[in-house]
């Protein structure tokens, strides 16, 4: 079975971009693959966090993943800081990646421009991500478009390590969905939808009231023309709605465009399709939120499974590096 690994940060509100770009695929892939999904709390620490909020957000994220259909009987779901091998692997990756490679990462450039405090961890972030992926002998990484560069650098690190120290890591590749890989902000459709959105109206959160989601779609920015056509460069707002509708209904944005002559019905249909996709997730989440002890138990089981594989890979890497057995 294909080995799959992916991760998500626990902080900030989980949004439609996370769902369509990654989580829907996570859910699908767990049926055909040997899937491992990680809540990357250590990555969240690359920017200052409120401890209480981080604690609550991590549990909440686990419940939300379960609510989107991740089945702990099928997939391994765990919290990054529960498996120490990830931190250890992060160091091995830091010594394999170059300063120049890290400096070219667009995520670092974006985030460091906005940050008051730029931690060293924000800079070495991709090394820890490479460890996450490589420790699990990962073949495929289901992610949104924005993570492509991180998967490419992971491959480069693995190749370099293997050629210096002998065959150690499997080379992973990104799996990016055909539609929904880059969901854009509903108010600023030139920018990707993200937790740090300028206006809350542009961000569709998975756990917000369904009525409010509907309103956000109805107020989505389009353009002054009237033609419905899928053309992301010329018509970013309309194309974003078509992509979202296509992702949710497993359709094709060009085909869907043919069914509309006005923006209004496109907005209404997209809102409805999104609301219907999110409704069951919210209902399951409400149930799970009442039982934090059960969530913690499932995370414990996940960590045990993840540790087994990660420890084996770390041992192999350390041996190949020539580190003395302890």
> 15 forms bridges with which residues in the sheet?
205
Binds ligand TYM (CB under 6 A): choice among 13, 101, 146, 272:
146
Q: Is 258 a catalytic site residue?
A: no
DSSP string, 239-268: HHHHHHHHHHHT--HHHHHTT-SSHHHHHH
| 240: contact with ligand TYM by CB under 6 A | no
Q: Going by C-beta distance under 8 Å and a sequence separation of 6 or more, which residues neighbour residue 267?
A: 217, 218, 220, 222, 241
Q: Given CA atoms 85, 86, 91, 97 in this order, what sign does their dihedral have?
A: positive
Binds ligand TYM (CB under 6 A): choice among 36, 61, 70, 143:
143
Comparing C-alpha atoms, which of 32, 81, 47 is closest to residue 61? Answer: 81
| Cβ atoms of residues 119 and 46 within 8 Å | yes
Q: How far is the CB of 83 from ligand TYM (least distance, A)?
A: 12
Identity of the residue, 122 or 183, whose beta carbon is nearer to ligand TYM in the bound complex: 183
Q: Going by C-beta distance under 8 Å and a sequence separation of 6 or more, which residues neighbour residue 227?
A: none
Q: Cα–chain-centroid distance for residue 250?
A: 20
* Catalytic pick among 28, 74, 111, 148: 111
Binds ligand TYM (CB under 6 A): choice among 29, 35, 37, 43:
43
* Catalytic pick among 192, 305, 318, 319: 192
Identity of the residue, 190 or 291, whose beta carbon is nearer to ligand TYM in the bound complex: 190
| Cβ atoms of residues 82 and 303 within 8 Å | yes
Please state at what angle helix 120-134 crosses helix 106-114, rounded to 10 degrees: 150
| 27: contact with ligand TYM by CB under 6 A | no
Q: How far is the CB of 205 from ligand TYM (least distance, A)?
A: 12
Q: Is 192 a catalytic site residue?
A: yes
Binds ligand TYM (CB under 6 A): choice among 183, 246, 257, 298:
183
Write out the two tokens for 53.
């909020």
Comparing C-alpha atoms, which of 82, 60, 68, 57 is closest to residue 290? Answer: 60
Rounded to an integer, what distance in angstroms lies between the CA atom of residue 75 and that of residue 61? 16
Residue 261: strand, helix, or coil: coil
Binding segment (CB under 6 A) for ligand TYM, from list 12-20, 199-207, 219-227, 253-261: 12-20
Interface mask toward ligand TYM for 80-119; x: CB under 6 A: ----------------------------------------
Residues 147-166 that bind ligand TYM (CB under 6 A): 147, 150
Instruction: Using CB under 6 A, list all residues that contact ligand TYM.
Output: 5-9, 17-18, 20-22, 40, 43, 129, 132-133, 141, 143-144, 146-147, 150, 181-183, 192-194
């Amino acid at each position: 079975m294909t080995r799959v690994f992916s991760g998500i940060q626990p902080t900030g509100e989980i949004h439609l971009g996370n769902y369509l770009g990654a989580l829907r695929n996570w859910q699908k892939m767990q049926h055909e693959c040997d899937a491992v999904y990680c809540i990357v709390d250590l990555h969240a620490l690359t920017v200052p966090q409120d401890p209480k909020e981080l604690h609550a957000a991590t549990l909440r994220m686990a419940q939300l993943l379960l609510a989107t259909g991740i089945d702990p009987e099928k997939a391994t779901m765990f919290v990054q800081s529960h498996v120490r091998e990830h931190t250890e692997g992060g160091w091995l990756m830091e010594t394999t990646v170059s300063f120049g490679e890290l400096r070219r990462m667009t995520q670092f450039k974006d985030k460091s421009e906005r940050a008051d405090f730029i931690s060293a961890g924000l800079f070495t972030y991709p090394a820890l991500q490479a460890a996450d992926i490589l420790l699990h002998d990962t073949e495929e990484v289901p992610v949104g478009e924005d993570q492509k560069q991180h998967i490419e650098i992971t491959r480069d690190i693995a190749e370099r390590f293997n050629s210096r120290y002998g065959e150690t890591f499997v080379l992973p590749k990104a799996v990016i969905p055909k539609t929904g890989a880059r969901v854009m902000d509903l108010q600023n459709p030139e920018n990707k939808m993200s937790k740090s959105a300028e206006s809350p109206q542009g961000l569709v959160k998975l756990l917000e009231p369904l009525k409010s989601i509907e309103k956000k779609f109805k107020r989505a920015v389009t353009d002054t023309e009237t033609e419905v056509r899928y053309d992301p460069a010329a018509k970013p707002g309309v194309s974003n709605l078509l992509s979202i509708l296509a992702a949710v209904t497993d359709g094709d944005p060009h085909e869907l465009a043919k069914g509309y002559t006005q923006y209004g019905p496109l907005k209404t249909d997209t809102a409805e399709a999104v609301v219907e996709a999110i409704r069951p997730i919210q209902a399951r989440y409400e149930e799970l939120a009442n039982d934090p002890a059960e969530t913690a138990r499932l995370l414990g089981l996940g960590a045990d499974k993840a540790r087994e594989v990660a420890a084996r890979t770390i041992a192999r890497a350390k041996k190949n590096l020539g580190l003395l057995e302890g």
